[in-house]
Structures are given as structure tokens and as C-alpha cells.
Structure 1
Amino acid sequence: MTSPVLDTIMERAEEIRALGSVNEQLGRLDDKAAKVLRDSGMIRMLQPASYGGMEAHPREFAEAVMQIAALDGSTGWIAGIVGIHPWEMAMADPRVQQEIWGEDPDVWIASPYAPMGIARPVDGGYVFNGRWQFSSGTDHCDWIFLGAMLGDADGNMVTPPVGLHLILPRSDYEIVEGSWEVAGLKGTGSKDIIVRDAFVPDYRAIEFAKVIDGSQAREAGLTNPTYLVPFSCAFPLGITSAVIGMAEGALAHHLAYQRDRVSIVGTKIKDDPYVLYAISEAAEEIAASRTRLLDFVCRMHDEAAAGREVSFGERAAGRRTQVRAAWRAVQAMNEIVVRSGGNAMRTDNPIQRFWRDAHVGLSHAIHVPGAVYHVSALTDLDIEPPQGPMRSMI
């Protein structure tokens, strides 16, 4: 599938690729790399048309993320994570949409959604406090989604717990410099965020349960199927697509590197049947990861377009597909990286950066297989999974 975004990315592929090491050295996305994403329209793919967005099919979005991540992991990661935020913002109160995009449709929104803050109700909104890790691309964003738990008048979490996504302008939170010292995805600049006694008006709050069950999109009057796919399909999409793209990038560099390589014992790699076997197997596994993820996204979009509600079991199976796609791609990548020779680990060889980036991407919470596989198996057995954290991202 082609799109104007993909066309622009391919036109500027060498620029994105060349900036990979610069991003890593900076510990955030270089301003030039961020400008390429802005110019391409990548971050507006899922943005409402009323604010200059494309309202693209989620498959197009995923394919664009993969292509960018195959050029540079950190740039692809930012494309996938920052790029998904306009999808949820489409469901938010029109007042906050106007505040963010009214003057500039290219304003970026950061996150994280992890509920690490407490929102204490006050007249007209909430007083908000907390600290969050992993705010990817945050240096280039002017607004942020932050996960919160609803508190009582004393600031203690209410029971049963109520999750919120609160939306804040850059003036209401602190980016903690020096808080992103990591082995991979260094160029994402996924720094810590601190909020101290910020007032958040109630129209800038979204109840997380309504995002999960799809009622937030329906209440907002959205009809494009892109906004009606389940959150558990849309939110992980950019992250998993980026990881698969990194594996594709590692494979491409491996092929280029091995073409004329001679091993330390004097064997030309093109004559080594064991390495050739690993290349073919890895290439097929990575391709299968891409195909399964895109097929899942298309099925969810088709269900939404047909007006059918996606069941909990279908959502669980979809999360299983998404998690396994990431693991399959990274495991396949490992098989070729360990056959690339010691020189592949030199810092001037991009293979090692893709390898490190993909492993850090795989460690994201949405890729933890335990609870997802557990719940999916129970639903396959027609057994109702227990309530609680195991269902939280399904």
C-alpha cells in the first residue's frame, strides 16, 4: 500500500538513516529528524480532518511506522507513539482540540498513559500530581496525555479505582533532564515527567474505561472506522510496528554487510549454507510478523466499518497476535545478528543499534506476553478471565 506519507519518507530515507547516530548521541530526536516527520505528515495520519489530519486507515499508519523504523529505530518509535496520540485526541472535548491544534495542526502530543498520578477533584476539574517515566519524544511536544487515578478530597485513590487520561499544556509539567540513560532507543528522549499541583479543567479529562470499551469515540460522534477500532488494537499498533520495522532494518543491513564478507576462517558468507539458511528463515519470520500484525489491524477496521462490536475474546486474541508478532520479529533478528560477526557490534555499524533498539522496544509493557497469553487462552477455552490487572490492556 502506498500513501503520500510513505512517498515522502522514501524521498528522505537517506536523511532519516543518516540522523540515526545523531539522535543516539543527543539522547533525543534531532531537530532535523523531527522536521522530517512533520514535513511528511506522519504525525497527522490519525488526526481529525477538521484539524488538518488524514484520518488514515490504521494499516497505512502501521506501514509508515515500519518504514521509518527500518531506517532508524528511534525515529520510527517516535512516529509510532506520538503518532497514535491524535487518534485519542479526536475523541476529546472540542475545546481542548481547539487549544492544541487551533493555530497549528502540527502541534505534537506526548504521553505516557501509565496511571502514575493522582487527580483530586476540585470545583471545575482536578488538582493533579505525579511522576511518570518514558515520555517518548517529549522534547518536541507541546501538550501531553498523562495517566491518572481518580482521588478523593484528601488525594487518596478512590475504590473501586477509576483511571483517567488527563491532557496538560507544556507549561503545566516538567521534563526531567538526564532521566533517559538507556542501552537502546536512546534517540527517543523518553524522559521523566513531573506534575506538581497542576489544575486540569474537567473538559481535559477522559475516562479510560470509556476509551477501552469504545464508548468515548461513539459519544464524540466519530463515524470513521479508524476511530472505532478498539484501543487495545490502536494503542499498541505504533509500538509493535516500530519493533518490526527495526527487525526489518537489521535484516537489510545484515544482507548488505554479508554480501561480500569473508569470515575469519576464510569462508565467503555467500558459500556458507548455515548462514544462508538463517537469513532465509529470519526473513520469512520477520515478514510473517508484519503480515500477521497488518492482517489483524485490517480485520479490526473491517469489523468497525461493518458496525459490529468486537468481543473481549476477539480483543484478547488480537493482543496475542500483536505481542507474538513483536517477539517473533526480534527472535528472528537475533538469529542473523549473532551470525554477523564481531565487527557488527562496532558502534559505526547500524546493525548493533537496530539490535539494541529492538530489544528495548520489546521490553515495553504492551509486549509482556504472560497475562495476554493467559487471558487469551482462557477465552479460547470459553472461560471468563478474572477481573483485575490481567484484563487492563485488553
Structure 2
Amino acid sequence: MSYEVLEHIDAMADDLFAEGVEAERLGRLADETAEKMKEAGSIRMFQPREFGGFESHPREFAETVMRTAALNPSAGWVHGIVGVHPWQLAYADPRVQQEIWGEDPDTWMASPYMPGGIVTPVDGGFRFSGSWQFSSGTDHCDWAFLGAFVGNPDGSVAQPPKMAHVVIPRTDYRIVEDSWDVVGLRGTGSKDVVVEDAFVPEYRVMYYDDLIDGSAVARYGRTETLYKLPWSTAFPLGITAATIGICEGLVLHADVYQADRINAQGTAVKDDPYTM
């Protein structure tokens, strides 16, 4: 099934390219693009099979992200980042997996992971507040992973610092409109998000140390090779693949543009080694 995602992307290539221009105008992915990505199963490539995912090989994921980014940079960027989140959610508490994917396996999650908030322990969970930049694709996501430090009752950061990734529904955070306008990736809609004193059940909090040392994978019994990939390897894969794909698309368009051009010396540009 994994390479069928890439085949879907190829079949929609012309539309995805045109919608990339529209995304730049909108400052977020076009709704039509998000629907095409859901139809193709782009964000389900790293998702567990029991929730409608493909459990794709990382190479297949990277190749599909690269192809998407070559056609539509913003869509490729969102695919690379949002597409890694199901991989992490696969070894979160089963209760939160069910909350997010139980009714709709095409539910998307945003981020970022930088510790822009503080989670303060209370009975049954945490109180959570903070603000974050660069939440790529957030307009089309209904949940998010948000980075935080564990706090003391007075709101200060507990010592030694302990980082957490908090799983939170969109109803508990606010997207700051007009907070993203970046040349080349305007269409990713990587806007700021804000959380103001939300309650988070304990089972929706993942600790960074447990992600890094593999404790979270072991705790919930994941044995698939895919989910034993180090976190510090899996997450950069999406960003790297998107960046390479964007560059490949740029080179392709430059090549097409230069194909029939003649320079001042009367030489075909495509034959000029300095230009090429």
C-alpha cells in the first residue's frame, strides 16, 4: 500500500502544482490539497495498521515527501512534518490513540515540540499554558503535540528541567492568524498557537526522556521495527526529505526554463557549464 500513496501523488501532479500557487496566496494549504493528501493517505504512511495506517518503510515515506515537495513545496513540508506525528502517537497511551483516530483515521496532528509551555501537576493530570511558533499545517489539524517543561505549583520550571510532549485537542488551543508570512513556505501556514490554562489528563503527556531512550515504545508493547527507529532520527527525516524535494523541484523548473534560452555569446544556456 505504501507506494500507492506515491502513485496517487503522481496522478494528481498537475493539480498539486497549481494548488501550490494558491497556498502561497492563502498563507496555508489549499483545502483541496489537504483533501487530496487524505485521499492519497499521505499522513497515514507512518500510522499503525490497526488505525488505518500503512506502517511504511522510512525510505518510502521520504520518497513520497520529496515528490510532493517537488510539486508543491508547502504540501511537501506539511507532509514531512505532520506525517511524522502518527509515528510518535503509535506509542502513546492507547487511550489517546483511540481519541484521535477512533472515529477518523485521517485526523491530523500539528506540533511544535519546542518547550514553549509549562505543565503543572494537579489531581488527575496537569494545568497547561504557553505559546509556540511555527505550527506547520495547523489549519488542517485537529490535535497537536506541544512541547513543555514540567512546572512547580508556583508556575516556575521544576529543577532539574524535565521536558514533555503534550497531546492536546484543537478545542484547547488558539491559532494566531496573520502570524506567519515567510517567503517560499508561506503556504505551510506555520502559525503561532496559544494555550491558556487548559486541563490535560495524565495519559496525554509523553516525557521526552522516555521517547529518546525507547521506554515509551517498550511500555506500550510496540514491537514493529518502524517504531524502534530513534526519535531523533525519525523527526528530522520529514524536514530533510521536504527540503530536498523542494530543491529538486526548483532544479527541474530551472532546467525547463533554460531549455531554449540563448546567452549573450550566442550559446545555448543548457550547454553553458557555468550556468548549469
Q: Flag the structure with higher helix content.
A: 1
Aligned residue for 2:97?
A: 97
**Within 5 A, what are the aligned runs for 1:1-394?**
3-275=3-275, 279=276
Which has the larger strand fraction?
2
Could you tell me which runs of 5 or more consecutive residues in structure 2 were left unpaired when the two chains were aligned.
none
Question: Which amino acid counterpart does residue 125 of structure 2 have in structure 1?
Answer: G
1:167 is paired with a residue whose SS is strand
RMSD over aligned CA atoms reads 1.1
Residue 273 of structure 1, CA deviation: 3.2
The amino acid of 2:201's aligned partner reads: P
* SS of match in other structure, 1:126: strand
- Aligned mates of 1:249, 1:165 — CA distance in 2: 34
Three-state SS of the structure 1 residue aligned to 2:148 is strand
Residue type of the partner of 1:53?
Answer: G
1:15-66: CA deviations, max 9, x gaps?
1111111000000000011111111101000011111011111111111100
| Residue type of the alignment partner of 2:123 | D
Instruction: Find the aligned partners of 1:165 and 1:249 in 2 and give their Cα distance.
Output: 34
Q: 1:265 offset after TM fit, Å?
A: 4.9
CA distance in 1, matches of 2:264, 2:233: 46
> What is the CA deviation profile of residues 282-326 of structure 1, one whole-angstrom value per residue up to 9, with x for unaligned ones?
xxxxxxxxxxxxxxxxxxxxxxxxxxxxxxxxxxxxxxxxxxxxx
**1:182, CA displacement in angstroms?**
1.6
- When the two structures are superposed, what TM-score results if normalisation uses the length of structure 2? 0.97
Give unpaired runs (5+ residues) of structure 1: 280-394
SS in 2 for 1:19: helix
Report the CA distance between 1:264 and its aligned residue.
4.5
Matched residue type, 2:135:
S
Q: Which amino acid in 2 is paired with 1:111?
A: S
C-alpha separation between the residues in 2 aligned to 1:242 and 1:147? 22
Corresponding pairs, count: 275
The residue type equivalent to 2:58 in the other structure is P
Q: Which has the higher contact order (CA 8 A, sep 6+)?
A: 2
Any idea what the Cα deviations from partners look like across 1:327-365, whole Å, max 9, x if unmatched? xxxxxxxxxxxxxxxxxxxxxxxxxxxxxxxxxxxxxxx
CA distance in 2, matches of 1:78, 1:264: 41
Question: For the residues of structure 2 that align with 1:197 and 1:5, how far apart are their CA atoms?
Answer: 39
